[in-house]
Amino acid sequence: MANHSATHPKHVHHHFVDSNQQFESAKLGMWVFLVNEILFFGGLFCAYIVFRAWYPELFTQAALELNTFWGAVNTVVLIGSSLTVAMAIRSAQNNQKRGLEINLLITILLACVFLVIKYFEYEHKLHLGIAPGSFWNPTPEIAAVLDHPKANIFFGIYYMMTAVHGLHVIIGIVLMVWLYLRARKGHFNSEYYTPVEITGLYWHLVDLIWIFLFPLLYLIE
Amino acid sequence: MASLSKTENTAQITPKKLKVKRFVPLENPINTYLTDEKGIWAWLTTVDHKKIGLMYLGAVAFFFALAGFLAIALRTELWTPAKTFIEADTYNQLFTLHGAMMVFFVLVPSIPAALGNFILPMQLGAKDVAFPRLNLASFYIYAFGAIFTFLSLANNGFDTGWTFYTPYSSDTNSAGIIWVTLGVFILGFSSILTGTNFITTIHKLRAPGISWDRLPLNVWALYATSIIQVLATPVLAITILLLAMENILDIGIFDPALGGDPVLYQHFFWFYSHPAVYIMIVPGFGIISEVITTFSKKTIFGYWAIALSSLAIAFIGFLVWGHHMFTSGQSAVATTIFSFLTFLVGIPTGIKIFNWVATLYRGSISMKTPMLYVFIFIFLFSIGGFTGIMLGALSVDIHLHDTYYVVAHFHYVMMGGTLIALLAGLHYWWPKMTGKMYNEPLAKTAAIFIFIGFNVTFLPQFIMGAQGMPRRYYNYIDQFTPFHQTSTIGSYILAVGFLVILFYLVHSLIKGQKAGPNPWNSRGLEWQSNSPPDFHNFSHTPVVIHGPYDYHQPMEEFQLGLAVDHEYGDEQDKVAAEAHASSATETTEA
Amino acid sequence: MMSEHHGHHVASAKQLWGIGIALLILTVLTVTVAGLGLPSPFDILMAMTIALTKAFLVAAFFMGLYWDTKFNSMLLIGALAFFILMVSITLLDTLYRDDVVPSF
């Protein structure tokens, strides 16, 4: 029902008293959603911990197949994108339309770089027959190094963790593109930048998850 | 929109900052949320929490009828020890479908998403939930999940039991299992969105004067429920996703054939599904607290005890999931600790029961239908709870595990608890939702049918379970025949009860008498609006100066509102903002 | 007309860049430490300590919890607490089984 009164700002929905209540609600809602996300990934981390506690030697061996260098590069890429998102929010708060657009663009670019690197990592592994579960069919050289009956399970966990995380990156890119289009139309300013703020929260969480995935998967010596 | 309420008693309460007028709800409202926008399209695209609640209610009723019909078919099949009229494989699919539908489509969304959606914003004096569009999305996600489950039936179905245990579910070469797991995965999102929405609404959209100690207990219960939904459901989502990947890609985490651990699946599954039991029952507790005060005309006994025990149940509910796995091969250490922790759940639940009974003491009790259901609830739920404690005892459980004793126990809790509470709430809020009354004598008759039918169905199951009748079996030895037949007869009586309810509710919609705004003379905020309420619930922003159960205060004290209508937005914003800022005690100083 | 955003903290560019650089340094540090090959419990402890520090920086400053209402921080901490709960109770089973994976 279009029950907007003339002085209710356009971006404020009818059931909120004022802009601030709407902003605070959106942020709280996003945080509650992030709790979901943490528990969602938590299940995967739990599987990881259980299997690592059972077969520590498997994890040491298998991690050697993961390329630490590219993992580290991806970490840097994601941290950089987190920084640009934070800068984007700052730009919106300061009414800097241009800054907002540029920061969003860089974020999208970095997220794409992350996915491209991830893609090449996957391709390399699948090429060597390092696939999850019953598709586990390593080349003889790999099989010689990675001689463990449960090796397929490590990579089952690895693929699930990184794929679910990658899916979140893709969703993040879609959201950023949407934000960018809206930013170009001048929808955001210091009075109203709620979507930028809460998408930023989401993106930082994606970064947070990777901050833990990186040492747990790549850095086991 | 013009003011829908006549303003009476213009002698205003004038606290320090705001001028408050009394608003008396209209006897015959012209504009209601039902007449506000018309047509099927308006319903399907509505963001009004009340309509979404009703759509959920319709969907839940539909699935309940469907799953109930399956239950009747199952009970009929069990009339004789051998085959009665369905094949063994079909039987396996039917009980799986009955369980999955009742849990995921009926019990989980029933009270929060259907009744809660309707009532929660009204009890908070809000115009809507915090994220109305998300609310609508959650309904469609629910519908979408349902479609996947039906697609599963078209693809060989699934017969793993509603728990989808590996390796049953990973070895079955059925496309059906993939579809249904994806369906449950999607349904989970619906539940998560509702929970997120409710938590935000309760935190941010309370009307002026509703401090945390004036929240209706129904809101406290929904708050606890939402917390469980938010914390537990994502774990179900990842579990189900892993299970689907187990089927599609053979990732091998849970499948013993690939080196995985099936017991780990059970841990993951019950990390959600045990708290999910409380997602189903805790909102029921909320309804009972509301109904029992209204029909005792008395302040609730132990407000904080009831409010906090909901949160305690929510928390302890996360610590006890292993009692579903006593015979699964989990370590003795875990088993012992889980058994011990399980007993703890009895404490907050007991606190609630005692407080309700204490509320009744010296109350002025009127035995209307909702109150009748409350008594049925207390009786049946206590049996369900006590047998649950018995099952939590390790040594007893080894004997009773996976027998009909367990079946009877969780039906006493889920049906005798949640569904009876849902019926209590439905009858209690029906006049508010529709503006119509139902046929009281018929309603009481139906309640008695349900009570008798329920006990005839499930009491014998305790006995044959204790004697060793395993659950989910298609055949049984002859000595159990009398128990099974009694149980089957009971299920028919139960069905008659539900048909009577269906009849008089439909009748009430068509020919029911006008209910008026507050037929029960309740002090709850939701009753200080028109019946049915208008689109914005209240034609004014309500100001609350008393708790929801202050029956010692005169009725007029509860009929407050801001002096300014929605029409004059900026004025109202200013006043409302001030009201938010000013504490409730300021208002009472008037 | 809606100009009073008391609660909205605007972080300075300097602050944000500082946090970004700190995160970079910690990333280099964790890779270096992993290369040292510390003995068993210490390598994972070290890696997790650094990861937690990084997570703290991101949550407190990029996500603005440092300036935000306490309740949002509580949500984050609560989520972590329940995650730890899930893991530790599951480990009570998996670490104390007679037979690691029950055979079929």
pLDDT at residue B1 in the model: 31
Size of interface B-C (CB pairs under 8 A): 54
pLDDT at residue B336 in the model: 93
Domain boundaries along the sequence of chain C:
11-66, 68-97
Chains contacting chain B through 3 or more C-beta pairs under 8 A: A, C
> Which one, of B318, B319, B338, lies nearest residue B328 by Cα?
B338
Question: Of A9, A20, A204, which has the smallest distance from its Cβ to C1's Cβ?
Answer: A9
> Which one, of C12, B192, B394, lies nearest residue A33 by Cα?
B192
Are A1 and B196 within 8 A, CB to CB?
no
Q: Which pLDDT band, with edges at 50, 70 and 90, does B14 fall under?
A: very low
Are C92 and B331 within 8 A, CB to CB?
yes
pLDDT at residue B248 in the model: 86
Are C72 and A27 within 8 A, CB to CB?
yes
Measured in angstroms, the CA of A98 and the nearest CA of chain B are apart by: 30
CA distances from B187 to A39, B134, B279, B283, B503 (A): 17, 14, 14, 19, 30
SS3 C39: coil
Mean pLDDT of B360-373: 95
Are A191 and C2 within 8 A, CB to CB?
yes
A47–C contact, CB cutoff 8 A: no
pLDDT at residue B586 in the model: 36
pLDDT single digits (tens) B282-323: 999 999 999 999 999 999 999 999 999 999 999 999 999 999
The dihedral of CA B414, B416, B419, B422: what is its sign? negative
Q: Which of residues 73-112 of A touch C (CB under 8 A)?
A: 75-76, 79-80, 82-83, 85-87, 90, 93-94
B6–A contact, CB cutoff 8 A: no
Q: Which of residues 191-220 of A touch C (CB under 8 A)?
A: 191, 200-201, 204, 207-208, 211-212, 214-216, 219-220
pLDDT at residue B575 in the model: 52
pLDDT at C102 exceeding the cut of 60: no
pLDDT single digits (tens) B35-58: 877 788 889 999 999 999 999 999
Are B576 and A132 within 8 A, CB to CB?
no
Measured in angstroms, the CA of C23 and the nearest CA of chain B are apart by: 29
Identify the residue whose tokens are 């049984």: B476
Delineate the domains of chain B, giving CATH numbers in brackets.
Answer: 40-511 (1.20.210.10)
Question: Of C43, C63, C71, which has the smallest distance from its Cβ to A204's Cβ?
Answer: C63
pLDDT single digits (tens) B110-167: 999 999 999 999 999 999 999 999 999 999 999 999 999 889 888 888 888 999 998 8
pLDDT along chain A (221 residues), means of 10: 51 83 93 96 95 90 90 96 95 94 97 96 91 82 84 91 96 97 93 94 96 93 72
B124–A contact, CB cutoff 8 A: no
Q: Which pLDDT band, with edges at 50, 70 and 90, does B449 fall under?
A: very high
Which of A8, A12, A40 is the mutation pick for testing B, counting most B CBs within 10 A? A40
User: What pairing do the DSSP bridges indicate for beta strands B7-13 and B560-562?
Assistant: unpaired
CA distances from B281 to B53, B98, B110, B275, B377 (A): 18, 19, 10, 10, 11
List, in order, residues 6 or more apart from A113 with CB less than 8 Å away.
Answer: A77
> Which one, of B88, B102, B207, lies nearest residue B546 by Cα?
B207
pLDDT at B8 exceeding the cut of 90: no
pLDDT at residue B19 in the model: 61
Q: State percent of chain B over pLDDT 70.
A: 92
Chains contacting chain A through 3 or more C-beta pairs under 8 A: B, C
- Cβ atoms of residues B224 and A30 within 8 Å: no
Measured in angstroms, the CA of A94 and the nearest CA of chain C are apart by: 8
pLDDT at residue B563 in the model: 52
SS3 B330: coil
Nearest residue in B to A46, CA atom: B268
pLDDT at C96 exceeding the cut of 80: yes
pLDDT at residue B243 in the model: 92
Cα(B108)–Cα(B301) distance, integer angstroms: 28
- Cβ atoms of residues A104 and A176 within 8 Å: yes
Cα(B364)–Cα(B282) distance, integer angstroms: 26
pLDDT at residue C65 in the model: 93
pLDDT at residue B113 in the model: 94
pLDDT single digits (tens) C2-32: 334 445 788 888 999 999 999 999 999 999 9
Size of interface A-B (CB pairs under 8 A): 146
Pick the CATH number of A19-218 from 1.20.58.1910, 1.20.120.80, 3.90.1150.10, 2.60.40.10: 1.20.120.80
Which one-letter amino acid corresponds to residue A11? H
pLDDT at B182 exceeding the cut of 80: yes
Cα(B121)–Cα(B219) distance, integer angstroms: 9
Are C92 and B261 within 8 A, CB to CB?
no
Are A221 and C43 within 8 A, CB to CB?
yes
Q: Which of residues 142-181 of A touch C (CB under 8 A)?
A: none
pLDDT at B13 exceeding the cut of 80: no
Helix axes B117-124, B217-248, angle to 10 degrees: 140
Q: Which pLDDT band, with edges at 50, 70 and 90, does B538 fall under?
A: confident
pLDDT at B98 exceeding the cut of 50: yes
Nearest residue in B to C1, CA atom: B570
C92–A contact, CB cutoff 8 A: no
Q: Which pLDDT band, with edges at 50, 70 and 90, does B16 fall under?
A: very low
ipTM over 0.85: yes
Mean pLDDT of B357-371: 95
Measured in angstroms, the CA of B331 and the nearest CA of chain C are apart by: 5
- Cβ atoms of residues B274 and B317 within 8 Å: yes
List, in order, residues 6 or more apart from B576 with CB less than 8 Å away.
Answer: A17, B208, B541, B562
Which of A31, A36, A171 is the mutation pick for testing B, counting most B CBs within 10 A? A36
Contacts of A3 in chain B (CB under 8 A): 1, 535-536, 566
Give the mean pLDDT of chain B. Answer: 89
Q: State percent of chain B over pLDDT 90.
A: 73
Contacts of A63 in chain C (CB under 8 A): none
Cα(B448)–Cα(B515) distance, integer angstroms: 24
Six token digits for residue B353: 């029961």
CA distances from A20 to A25, B165, B204, B570, C60 (A): 8, 47, 11, 15, 21
Measured in angstroms, the CA of A98 and the nearest CA of chain C are apart by: 16
Measured in angstroms, the CA of C70 and the nearest CA of chain B are apart by: 13
Measured in angstroms, the CA of B255 and the nearest CA of chain C are apart by: 11
pLDDT at residue B510 in the model: 94
Measured in angstroms, the CA of B573 and the nearest CA of chain A are apart by: 6
Which of C2, C75, C93 is the mutation pick for testing B, counting most B CBs within 10 A? C93
